[in-house]
């Protein structure tokens, strides 16, 4: 076909692209144009086919070599397989099962794992739980007790699920393989598809007489108390892994893990960013202007800080080592940053008002006057706009 696009161009990669780059490029396109994502969209389907064809050829070292040498012509007339698939490309020959398992297994959250069902020892699934702690508990670490429902091997049937005296039999559908192979007609031609056996769910065994204690599951469930050591420095959303407190393994495999997600409560005054803590502290007018000792709340309790005279609002200071410990080494701590906010006094009594006026006068900010309502003075009102502007600039 004369109007076929270059395979490298289709995938948007360089001629020298390595396998990982090819795969990445194809995954991106496949995810975008997959027919399951774009039902009925002919253009997407064509794009998907084009990308799949390009990837199938370029991911095969032998075919890639041929393509690099002869271009599309390498697959058009040769080999006598010209009829199948599309554009002379024969999909029947390619092991689509492998490609799809590889690419789509994790792409669509499908079972690249279930494809590999086996009867050997397998680790159990992980369990998830959540623990709520305070801001301070996250900073300094704590011990928490969790109650979770844990499965254990059934003591009556020892995990086989079969009534004592009987045993599970080999699954007739998959002959104990745990998986079945389907051949399916698809838009690419015949596709080999491997699936977990629907009869035995991958175990390869069928239980005829079920154990009555566990109803054939092989497990019993019970509530268990688990001690969780929350390390100092943990942050909201992080998880603690407790080994082998998850679901039991199969065929002698180890238990899965318990993953405990930590939920840290918001603190009324402290905020946290990584290892640093942030807060604000109020300063009175006098403290800001004159300086002096203030008391500041930290996670270690109150500390004294010497404020410099003339401290402006929004001034930020650092209390070194008063932050959050490092998760790896609790002796290394972040810092605590405090932003001072100068409080403008409200609800002043007459005495305080008078003192402030005096203060302003002493600073030269007010024209000397016995009358406090100098803004209401008639001569002020008479001033023109230009005069006022001049005054502003003279200041």
Q: Which residues bind Zn ion (CB under 5 A)?
A: 154, 156-157, 171, 173-174, 197, 199-200, 211, 213-214
Query: Closest CB to Zn ion among 214 and 262?
Result: 214
Task: Give the residue among 83, 104, 102 at the shortest CA–CA distance from 92.
Answer: 83
Integer Cα distance of 248 and 3 in angstroms: 57
Structure tokens at 375: 């803004």
Structure tokens at 130: 């959540």
Residues 125 and 51 sit within 8 Å (Cβ to Cβ): no
DSSP code for 232: T
Query: Closest CB to Zn ion among 45 and 209?
Result: 209
Smallest gap, in angstroms, from Cβ of residue 174 to Zn ion? 3
Q: Please say whether the dihedral angle defined by the alpha carbons of residues 244, 249, 252 and 253, taken in this order, is positive or negative.
A: negative
Smallest gap, in angstroms, from Cβ of residue 40 to Zn ion? 35
Give the three-class secondary structure for 252.
coil
Query: Closest CB to Zn ion among 76 and 152?
Result: 152
Structure tokens at 81: 């397989």
Query: Closest CB to Zn ion among 157 and 299?
Result: 157
H-type alpha helices, 118-200: 135-140
57 to each of 26, 34, 94, how far by Cα in Å? Answer: 12, 18, 9
Integer Cα distance of 326 and 332 in angstroms: 6
Query: Closest CB to Zn ion among 161 and 256?
Result: 161
Task: Give the residue among 337, 344, 334 at the shortest CA–CA distance from 318.
Answer: 337
Query: Closest CB to Zn ion among 199 and 247?
Result: 199
Integer Cα distance of 291 and 285 in angstroms: 10
Q: b vs e for 225-253, b when ≥16 Cβ sit within 10 Å of the residue's Cβ?
A: ebebebbbbbeeeebbebeebbbbbbeee
Smallest gap, in angstroms, from Cβ of residue 31 to Zn ion? 32
Q: b vs e for 287-317, b when ≥16 Cβ sit within 10 Å of the residue's Cβ?
A: bbbeebebebebbeeeeebebeeebeeebeb
Smallest gap, in angstroms, from Cβ of residue 104 to Zn ion? 23
Smallest gap, in angstroms, from Cβ of residue 214 to Zn ion? 3
Smallest gap, in angstroms, from Cβ of residue 328 to Zn ion? 44
255 to each of 215, 356, 395, how far by Cα in Å? Answer: 21, 73, 78
Smallest gap, in angstroms, from Cβ of residue 194 to Zn ion? 13
Smallest gap, in angstroms, from Cβ of residue 247 to Zn ion? 16
Query: Closest CB to Zn ion among 99 and 171?
Result: 171
Query: Closest CB to Zn ion among 85 and 202?
Result: 202
Smallest gap, in angstroms, from Cβ of residue 117 to Zn ion? 9
Query: Closest CB to Zn ion among 177 and 257?
Result: 177
């Amino acid at each position: 076909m004369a109007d076929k696009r270059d395979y490298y161009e289709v995938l948007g990669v360089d001629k020298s692209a390595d396998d990982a780059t090819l795969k990445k490029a194809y995954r991106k396109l496949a995810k975008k144009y997959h027919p399951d994502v774009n039902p009925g969209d002919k253009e997407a389907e064509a794009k998907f086919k084009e990308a799949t064809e390009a990837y199938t050829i370029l991911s095969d070292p032998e075919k890639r070599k041929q393509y690099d040498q002869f271009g599309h012509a390498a697959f058009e007339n040769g080999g006598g397989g010209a009829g199948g698939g599309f554009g002379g490309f024969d999909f029947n020959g390619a092991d689509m099962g492998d490609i799809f398992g590889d690419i789509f297994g994790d792409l669509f959250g499908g079972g690249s794992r279930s494809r590999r069902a086996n009867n050997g020892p397998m680790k159990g699934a992980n369990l998830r739980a959540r623990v709520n702690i305070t801001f301070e508990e996250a900073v300094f670490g704590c011990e928490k007790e969790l109650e979770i429902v844990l499965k254990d091997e059934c003591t009556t049937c020892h995990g086989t699920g079969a009534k004592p005296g009987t045993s599970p039999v080999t699954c007739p559908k998959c002959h104990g393989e745990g998986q079945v192979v389907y051949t399916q007609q698809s838009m690419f031609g015949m596709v080999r598809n491997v699936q977990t056996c629907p009869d035995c769910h991958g175990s390869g065994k069928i239980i005829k007489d079920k154990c009555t204690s566990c109803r054939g599951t092989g497990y019993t469930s019970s509530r268990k108390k688990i001690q969780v050591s929350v390390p100092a420095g943990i942050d909201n959303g992080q998880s603690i892994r407790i080994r082998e407190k998850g679901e039991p393994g199969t065929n002698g495999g180890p238990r899965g893990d318990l993953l405990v997600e930590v939920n840290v409560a918001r603190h009324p005054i402290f905020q946290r960013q990584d290892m640093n803590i942030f807060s604000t502290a109020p300063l009175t007018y006098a403290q800001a202007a004159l300086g002096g000792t203030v008391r500041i709340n930290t996670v270690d309790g109150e500390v004294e800080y010497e404020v410099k005279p003339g401290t402006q609002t929004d001034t930020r200071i650092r209390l070194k080592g008063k932050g959050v410990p490092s998760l790896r080494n609790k002796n290394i701590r972040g810092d605590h940053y405090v932003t001072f906010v100068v409080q403008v006094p409200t609800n002043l009594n007459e005495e305080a008002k008078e003192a402030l006026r005096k203060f302003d006068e002493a600073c030269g900010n007010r024209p000397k006057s016995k009358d406090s309502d100098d803004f209401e003075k008639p001569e002020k009102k008479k001033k023109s706009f230009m005069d006022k502007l001049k005054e502003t600039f003279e200041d």
